[in-house]
Amino acid sequence: MSQIDELIQELCPDGVLFSSLRDLASLEKGTSITKKDTELGVVPVIAGGRQPAYMHDESNRSGQNIVIAGSGAYAGFVSFWTQPIWVSDAFSISADTRLIVPRFLFHLLRSAQTKIHLMKRGAGVPHVYAKDVGKMLIPRPPLPVQEEIVRILDTFAELEAELEAELEVRRRQYAYFRDLLLNFPEESEVRWSTLGEICTKVSSGGTPASGRSDNYGGDIPWLRTQEVHSVDIWSTGVKITEVGLRSSSAKWIPAHCVIVAMYGATAAKVAVNAIPLTTNQACCNLQIDPSQAEYRYVFYWIANEYDRLRALGEGSQSNLNAQKVKSYPIPIPPLGEQRRIVSILEKFDALANDQSVGLPAEIAARRKQYEYYRDKLLSFEELVA
């Protein structure tokens, strides 16, 4: 870090100028487009998510562009693009390179990701607006300082990207073996049933009224669908009180239920609750009959059926309902075979997804390292005129 310290001491020892983002870059709203209006191509369409919504054969941006998702659950998400793209339900930020290095501005905005997410406004579908982001004050050290900071931070980012690519290969291997193990030939010793038929109970939950402060902030774990994402649930982001529990349809479910998200961005995703908890009404909670099936086997089956189950949904977010989940088919091999399948898949699952071991742990460590140096390098004293 000595080189950056030397540059700062030489070029801006007393602090740096701060300017509003709109004075350093051009912020331009995207042009809405739907999938049915696109032609198959290789140009990513950037909308309200963290990944491209789909591909198109035309672009409306080229060069180096920062893009901020405009609406939905991920409104405010910051991404960086050097290839031609189509900006749809989002807005782009094109840096004035005479004043600020595009990648430096990207790292700054990523460091402010939480702040940008909190700029969401509007009832129903939340939005983040360019005019609000444009008011942000941005430190503007001399260009050589910016370039050196970019060099350091991009080194961390590139290492993380290499590890992510290796991890993606492992996840594909995991998906391959999961599909292989859960594909039963006609002559296999399995009987076909439905998710509802192999449960002792199927339930959903409820949401305590948000207008009452005494409903929230208790010690009762309350699960929302955005937390249902093919992982075990050990804690919840929101907790409710006994008052909230009694005044709503929320209800306790025992540990080791298989939970399917029915609405929203995670519709058809599945999880297992490692602890007893309550859920909202968008969760379909399956209490598996242990005499028929291993709950972990059911979890892996539903996870492997994600695309097919989601295709049964309705509306723009592929919403499901409890009846569609309960009537979904599942093959039931003997319990011993189920345990064998689970044992194999858990090993692959740990290698691909366990944040405490292997590549996932190394990626998490590199990400923390990047965030530490990013926050350290992007903290500047404002120059007093």
Tokens of 120: 């969401």
Domain identity same for 291 and 373: no
The chain-wide mean pLDDT, for the chain, equals 91
pLDDT value at position 270? 97
Q: Which amino acid is at 309?
A: L
Cβ atoms 205, 283 nearer than 8 A:
yes
Q: Which of helix, strand or coil describes residue 220?
A: strand
Domain identity same for 152 and 126: no
Domain identity same for 246 and 383: no
Instruction: Compute how many other C-beta atoms are within 10 angstroms of the C-beta atom of residue 156.
Output: 17
**18 exposed, middle or buried (CB, 10 Å; 0-12, 13-18, 19+)?**
middle
Residue 183 belongs to a domain: no
Each residue of 174-210: pLDDT tens digit? 888 889 999 988 777 899 999 999 999 999 999 999 8
Helices 143-181 and 295-304 pack at an angle, to 10 degrees, of: 110
Domain identity same for 327 and 208: yes
**281: phi then psi, degrees, rounded to nearest 5:** -75, -10
Domain identity same for 5 and 27: no
Domain identity same for 62 and 132: yes
Domain identity same for 28 and 12: no
Confidence of residue 354 (pLDDT cuts 50, 70, 90): low
331 beta partners: 192
Which region among 180-194, 205-219, 300-314, 329-343 has the lowest average model confidence (pLDDT)? 180-194
Order of strands across the sheet that contains 283-288: 199-203, 283-288, 258-261, 270-273, 232-233
The DSSP string of 54-94 is EEES--SB-SSEEEEE-BSTTTT-EEEE-S-BEE-SEEEEE
270 beta partners: 260
Residue 283 belongs to a domain: yes
Domain identity same for 5 and 96: no
Domain identity same for 161 and 198: no
Instruction: Compute how many other C-beta atoms are within 10 angstroms of the C-beta atom of residue 90.
Output: 26
Number of structural domains (the chain) is 3
| CA 106, chain centre distance (Å) | 19
Closest CA to 48 of 24, 25, 30: 30
Each residue of 267-288: pLDDT tens digit? 999 999 999 999 999 999 999 9
Residue 182 belongs to a domain: no
**233: phi then psi, degrees, rounded to nearest 5:** -100, 115
In percent, how much of the chain has pLDDT > 90?
Answer: 68
Domain identity same for 306 and 243: yes
Domain identity same for 323 and 354: no
Domain that holds residue 354: 1-16+141-176+338-385
pLDDT value at position 46? 93
Domain identity same for 12 and 22: no
Confidence of residue 131 (pLDDT cuts 50, 70, 90): very high
354 beta partners: none
Residue 185 belongs to a domain: no
Greater confidence (197 vs 71) lies with 197
